[in-house]
Amino acid sequence: MSPTGGTLAAMAKKPTGARSKAATARDPEAPRDVARLHIWQIQAVRDVLLVAAVVGVFWVGYALRAVTVPLLVALLLAYLFEPLIARLCRHPKISRPVAVGGLLATLGLALVIVISLALPLVIGQTRQFVGDVKSGEMRRRIAPLQELIPDSYDEDFHRFLEILPGENGETGQRPAPATTTEPDATSPPAPAAAPLTTAEVESIVDARLARERQSLRDEQAVPRAEGDREGLGLPRGSVQAIFSALGSVVQVGLVTFLIPFYFFFFSVWYSDVVQFLRNLLPEKNKPRTLELLGKMDAVVAGFVRGRIVISVIMGAMLAVGWMICGVPYAISLGLVVGVFCAVPYLGMIGIPVAVALLFFDRYSPDNAAWWWVWVILWPTVVFAIVQLIEGYVLTPMIAGKATNLDPVTILVVVLAGGSVLGVYGMLLAIPLAACGKILITDMLLPYVRAWTRGERSDPLPIDQ
């Protein structure tokens, strides 16, 4: 028998599985026996498992948000402060742990100083606002405006006033008219109220007795705490409220400790983590991928860092400007609006609030006919000046053209993000839109232009 014949005979004696494995080894694209595949070797199953793994990671992160939220905040802070830490580490005598520790100490000291200076003012104005609402002062200021309300909105205006506490601290009462006149001797006497019938009196008494019996049953149903037996005299509800407050304090303290703790180690290991992730990229497209990631990093970091600093400065300027204009609670309002300024154009919500507060504070029937023009004008002028400073001074100096997006695109993506995910969508919309623009400009448009010149194949061919 010839060698060729012997080889063919030997191949014929091989089992089918051996022949299929040999064919697969020679040609990876060759079809494989489905019966011998593992379940994770099926592409559809792998896709489902990947999606399920991503959803599971997000679900676990949400379930453990007490741990993951400080972790993500610390990671974001490490990412934002990395350029400053890297610049400090260029000094030969400053190591990375020393730079991170010094930065934490400096930030902690600055935070304590700012809180000690600004917090009493904010708390004082907030307490004043709450006190004005509870004491009925806010209702007394708003009640005279019923003269300016059209008749069609009179009932709605009264319902709004019924929500605010009156002078006795109770709600649900109609406000007294703004101006009252003493009855004249010649005026006819007011009609007397109709006397209550026996049935109405009995129904009122029965309702009051039912409420009293229900309150007694509720008090008897709440058992006393163990401390009450020892003479402390605290019901279980009070003990639970105390423990709840202590739990909240412990949770805040834990978060306050965990964020700097995580931030220190994330910042110390930041370069090692970046290098590890860079080594995971495939070598084939590694330069191009690093180039795109570098552009996205510049966009996201520039926008986030810039908007944080800009919003703080804008909040301080708005607080001072509105305080000069006489807007009530100007410091608290300016700082809150400064937080909204982190999203472009969202800070405009502060204009109607400032105008309304100033209007309620300065309104009087004796004012001149044109006084409301100044009430609307001055808070708006302050906001316009702050916007001009932000657009022509702060943004070019701090953020530059980080996103490279025009104002129309920014407004559209902010509204779209807000309609999808609310405030979180507004915060993420601009960085995501800027990264999408980079991908479209650097990857999709060159392919489309090459296809229009006939240098690329049709991405969606139509069979003739």
pLDDT in tens, 115-153: 777 777 777 777 777 777 777 777 777 776 666 677 777
More confidently predicted of 101 and 238 = 101
Q: Considering only CA atoms, which of 386, 330, 390, 387 is closest in space to residue 355?
A: 330
Q: Considering only CA atoms, which of 165, 202, 129, 51 is closest in space to residue 360?
A: 129
Looking at residue 230, its pLDDT comes to 44
User: pLDDT tens, 188-202?
Assistant: 554 555 566 666 767
Region 57-73 average pLDDT = 82
More confidently predicted of 42 and 331 = 331
Contact 334, 126 (CB under 8 A): no
Question: Whole-prediction pTM value?
Answer: 0.58
Residue 224: phi, psi to the nearest 5? -75, 150
pLDDT band at 381 (very low <50, low <70, confident <90, very high): very high
**235 bridge partner residues:** 224
Residue type for position 204: I
Contact 70, 255 (CB under 8 A): yes
Which alpha helices (H) appear in 136-235, and where do they start and end? 137-142, 154-163, 198-221, 226-229
Q: Whats the size of the chain, residue-wise?
A: 464
Please give the structure tokens belonging to residue 424.
């979180």
Please give the structure tokens belonging to residue 258.
């965990």
pLDDT band at 177 (very low <50, low <70, confident <90, very high): very low
> Residue with structure tokens 């896709």?
47
Secondary structure (DSSP) of 32-81 = --GGGS-GGGSHHHHHHHHHHHHHHHHHHHHHTHHHHHHHHHHHHHHHHH
Looking at residue 385, its pLDDT comes to 93
> Residue with structure tokens 């909240």?
248
Looking at residue 422, its pLDDT comes to 75
pLDDT band at 181 (very low <50, low <70, confident <90, very high): very low
Show Cβ contacts of residue 411 under 8 Å, excluding neighbours closer than 6 positions: 344, 345
